[in-house]
A and B are shown apart, each in its own frame.
Chain A
Amino acid sequence: AQSVTQPDARVTVSEGASLQLRCKYSYSATPYLFWYVQYPRQGLQLLLKYYSGDPVVQGVNGFEAEFSKSNSSFHLRKASVHWSDSAVYFCAVSYNRIFFGDGTQLVVKP
């Protein structure tokens, strides 16, 4: 069965520090891969997407993600976080339908 795993329910980092949010998927082929962000009382917004090609994709607000076929992973990174990055981040995979991970809550300490 297809699944998406975000192993960290909550991550706390200091402002200015680097960030990695982990995502692993379980699927035999390479699906489309996405990261979404959800701010309080809002819907999910697309951060970035991977369809094929260069395994490192750039997104909005300095976020990037790296696809690894060998590890079945699609980790999200940011070099220097800002307090406004505090939100819930969802990894998602899409083949015939989209599957979301359970989300990782990011808390950025001032």
Chain B
Amino acid sequence: DMKVTQMPRYLIKRMGENVLLECGQDMSHETMYWYRQDPGLGLQLIYISYDVDSNSEGDIPKGYRVSRKKREHFSLILDSAKTNQTSVYFCASSLSGEVFFGKGTRLTVV
């Protein structure tokens, strides 16, 4: 069963804390993504990874960084989280243009 798994599903952090969002996929897809979704704003691309250690900024990379040391694993890191980073974060992987999404992580920064 093809799957993108995100952990944790829900997370509450204080402003200034570091945040690690984890994502795994079992399809050996080379390309992976991190998006955030806010009400009424659709999906905003944060980072794209084309393979291990081959990462590119998306449309809104400021305040985020990523790590991909294994093909099946892609992490999103928020150093010193801010309240405006409260959002739902989706990880995805793709093959031949088709994108497979995880169920999302709902992050609240207080």
> What residues make up the interface of A, taking CB atoms closer than 8 Å to B?
31-32, 34, 36, 41-46, 49, 51, 90, 92, 94-95, 97-98, 100-103
Min CB distance B4 to A, Å, is 8
Known: A43-B103, A44-B92, A45-B101. 8 other contacts (CB 8 A): A41-B104, A43-B4, A43-B90, A43-B101, A44-B99, A51-B96, A51-B97, A98-B94
Residues of A within 8 A of B99 (CB): 34, 36, 44, 46, 92, 94, 98
Q: CB < 8 Å: which of A31, A34, A42, A100 contacts B98?
A: A34
Min CB distance B8 to A, Å, is 14
CA distance A97 to B101 in the complex (A): 15
**Is the contact region of chain B dominated by helix, strand, or loop, or is it mixed?**
strand
CA distance A61 to B43 in the complex (A): 24
Whether A44 lies near B101 (C-beta < 8 A) is yes
> What residues make up the interface of B, taking CB atoms closer than 8 Å to A?
4, 33, 41-43, 45, 48, 90, 92, 94, 96-104
**Is the contact region of chain A dominated by helix, strand, or loop, or is it mixed?**
strand
Whether A103 lies near B90 (C-beta < 8 A) is no
Whether B101 lies near A90 (C-beta < 8 A) is no
Q: Which residue of A lies closest to B94 (CB)?
A: A98
Q: Which residue of B lies closest to A105 (CB)?
A: B40
Min CB distance A57 to B, Å, is 13
Residues of B within 8 A of A51 (CB): 96-97
Known: A34-B98, A49-B98. A44 touches B42 (CB 8 A): no
Residues of A within 8 A of B92 (CB): 43-44
